[in-house]
Amino acid sequence: GAVVSQHPSWVICKSGTSVKIECRSLDFQATTMFWYRQFPKQSLMLMATSNEGSKATYEQGVEKDKFLINHASLTLSTLTVTSAHPEDSSFYICSASPRTGVYEQYFGPGTRLTVT
């Protein structure tokens, strides 16, 4: 149980284009979803927290107009990287929690984004 999927697993896009990453909780309803960014050989950096039906809360330093997050249903959240640049290339990982108390997070397999 508690499976989270991400799609796509990897994507290459050209500079200036936008790319959407989906995060789905497959066997539970996710009250809260999180988006992380991970640079090579580094830890996870929380980008934003989203609760179903409300606006995402972004961490300090994360551009909300560049990283658009939508949590439209209890099983789906999307991250759209707008006007992507090479510096946006990274490994993006989502996680989902079945309740608002965050002592259980289930992670997706990650999406490798490369911007050329």
Partner 1 sequence: AQSVTQLDSQVPVFEEAPVELRCNYSSSVSVYLFWYVQYPNQGLQLLLKYLSGSTLVKGINGFEAEFNKSQTSFHLRKPSVHISDTAEYFCAVSYHTSGTYKYIFGTGTRLKVLA
For 43-106, give the DSSP string. Answer: -EEEEEEEETTSPPEEPTT--TTTEEEEEEETTEEEEEE-S--GGG-EEEEEEEESSSS-S--E
In whole angstroms, the minimum distance from the beta carbon of 75 to partner 1 comes to: 17
Between 42 and 73, name the residue whose CB sits nearer to partner 1: 42
On whether the CB atoms of residues 57 and 45 are closer than 8 A, the answer is no
The footprint of partner 1 (CB under 8 A) covers 4, 6, 34, 41-44, 46, 49, 57, 91, 93, 95, 100-110, 112
Between 63 and 104, name the residue whose CB sits nearer to partner 1: 104
In whole angstroms, the minimum distance from the beta carbon of 40 to partner 1 comes to: 11
On whether the CB atoms of residues 24 and 4 are closer than 8 A, the answer is yes
In whole angstroms, the minimum distance from the beta carbon of 34 to partner 1 comes to: 7
Report the run of H or E that residue 36 belongs to, with start and end: strand 32-38
Between 86 and 103, name the residue whose CB sits nearer to partner 1: 103
In whole angstroms, the minimum distance from the beta carbon of 95 to partner 1 comes to: 8
